A and B are shown apart, each in its own frame.
Chain A
Amino acid sequence: MKKILSIAVYTLRQNIRNRIYYILVFFATVLIFVYFLLSVLGGEESLRIILDFGLTTIEFFALLLVIFSGVSLILEEIESKTVYLVLVRPIPKWYYIIGRYFGLVLSTYIGMIIMYLIHCAVLFCKGWSFDINYLYSVISSFMKIAIIGSLAVFFSLFSTSSASSLVFTFFLWLLGHFTSEIKFLIKKAGAPLLKILLEIFYFIIPNLQYFNWRDFLGSGLAPSWLLIAFLYGASYCLIFLILSIILFNKKEF
């Protein structure tokens, strides 16, 4: 456990020292303040504008952070051969993958927490009173990032270039939000074979709609499924991390 923690801390430091990390967090923060001005256009619904735009921006910038860092996380170390420095030590290879993953997710979460705090401050300035749904949205976004992080690590080992990993991960992010529509298409599909193929495809892609609480804010729904959804998300992450470990073990250095 200590060894995993050391790798995670090392990854965290590496990511935080990265210039892109600062640029993205800074840019997102600036945007949150811009929404303060933009909200004027929303008339009496200015608070809603700041809330929606802020939550989405934070999630989107976190997505960029996790994808850009995730796809190059292990690939770069393999290419620059710095991975040997870790692998020559008497630690199992899976420690390395898990440690790198935790470091990646943790650094993204730190960036997100900073952005959420600023967002809350802006909202409070506008007279917002705290709503528990905000917390649900934050936690749901964290889960989304964890899933996308595991996919980014998997694709970085699966493909040979960071560009293709980036495209795959981003594509799955999009599809993950499109699941309800895919389900609708399955119902509409006539051919049984197509239906089965679509069903399999539907099962493989991560259903990010379970974690899209920020889009369900006004619906008055009770998050009764949220706990099970977290279990789903955690198991999804675990599957792709194990697959990443298998791929990493099969790599020849």
Chain B
Amino acid sequence: MKWSTYFLLIFSFCINLGTYLYLEKNFVYPFKIVDISKPENKLPVEKYILLDLTGIVFGVRRISSDIAWIQVLQYYGSPEDENEEYNHEHKEGHCHHGINFGGGKYYDLLKLCQRTIRLDPYFYYAYLYGSASLAWNLNRDDEGIKLLDEGIKNCPKYWQFYLYKMAIIYKKLDKYKEMVHLLEKVIKEQNCPLMVKAILANIYKRLGEYQKSLELWTEIYNLGMSEYYFFAKEQIAEIKNLLSNYR
């Protein structure tokens, strides 16, 4: 064996060691590693622990988070368990009428959203959608704020969390005018969930501001096929009818 081979081996080893030491200092692992055995770090949904850990071990956190997100949507989009105790007016699940669009109990929604965002703390949309659903659809303002607080802790620079939090706080304080003002700002953002637009349209309708409500529903309808498409169509017809009666 030539000495040059060993020299090259030692040389590459030195480079490897040097880069390793540099990376140990400068590489930023974006996810917080927590000791899940501690009670404060207890997983929100324990039944999916194996699935979630597999994702982390395989280095596919984002996919695990995506799967968790799909499960959130399936949970929130499906009829609630018939054995579950709830006083919802429509036993089939989602209420698709008026202000209560997306209403129900959905007790596990916060936990499922927390699972999603703990797998990928940078999944901004999950925070926004989850908190808006909890606060405006399910009337659980505190849970919505809790989810946003976690978002603020994980991504303090993402200013939209503060805006949503403020809007929920105004709702809690029954300051509807201020809340509507904030929501108007929120819906101008590109990544604003369609659901928030629908919520604002419903609030406008409840406040008697039919023209504004109609404009928003038309905007939602014009987006094409979405979960709100048919509901938006119904709302447009209803508000147009209300407006013609009003005139």
- Residue positions of A touching B, CB distance < 8 A: 41-45, 48-49, 52-53, 56, 94, 174, 176-178, 180-181, 184, 188, 203, 207-210, 212, 214-221, 224-225, 228-229, 231-232, 235-236, 238-239, 242-243, 245-246, 249
Contact = CB atoms under 8 A, between A and B. Distances in A.
B47 to A, nearest CB: 20
Interface in B15-62: 15-16, 19-20, 22-23, 26-31, 33, 35, 56-62
Nearest to A57: B63
Contact of A232 (B16, B62, B194): B16
Q: Which of B1, B20, B66, B70 has the most CB of A within 10 A?
A: B66
A207 B245 CA distance: 69
B125 interface: yes
Given A184-B33, A210-B27, A232-B19, A215 B1 contact: no
Contacts of B173: none
Given A221-B30, A239-B9, A242-B9, A181 B56 contact: yes
A225 B66 contact: no
B147 to A, nearest CB: 16
Contacts of A219: 30, 122
Contacts of A245: 5
Contact of A231 (B19, B60, B62, B129): B19
Contact of B5 (A43, A214, A242): A242
Contacts of A208: 59
Contact of A41 (B31, B59, B74): B74
* Chain A contact residues, majority secondary structure: helix
A177 B28 contact: no
B33 A218 contact: no
A59 to B, nearest CB: 9
Contacts of A53: 63, 66
Given A215-B60, A215-B62, A249-B1, A238 B73 contact: no
A245 B9 CA distance: 11
Contacts of B35: 184, 188
A202 to B, nearest CB: 10
A229 B27 contact: yes
Contacts of A236: 16
B217 to A, nearest CB: 17
Interface string B120-156: 1011110001000000000000000000000000000
Contacts of A232: 16, 19-20, 23
28 contacts: A42-B69, A42-B73, A43-B227, A45-B69, A52-B63, A94-B5, A174-B57, A174-B58, A178-B57, A178-B59, A180-B29, A184-B33, A210-B23, A218-B123, A220-B122, A220-B157, A225-B26, A228-B19, A229-B19, A231-B19, A232-B23, A235-B12, A235-B13, A235-B16, A235-B19, A245-B5, A246-B5, A249-B1
Interface residues of B, number: 44
Nearest to B192: A44
B79 interface: no
Nearest to B58: A177
Q: Which of B62, B193, B226 has the most CB of A within 10 A?
A: B62
A188 B38 CA distance: 13
Contacts of B27: 209-210, 225, 229
Nearest to A222: B28
A180 B57 contact: no
Nearest to B77: A43
Contacts of A94: 5
- The 10 lowest CB-CB distance pairs between A and B, nearest first, are A177-B59, A218-B122, A232-B19, A219-B30, A235-B16, A238-B12, A235-B15, A52-B62, A242-B9, A184-B33
A39 B97 CA distance: 27
A245 B124 CA distance: 49
Contacts of B61: 215
A48 B125 CA distance: 11
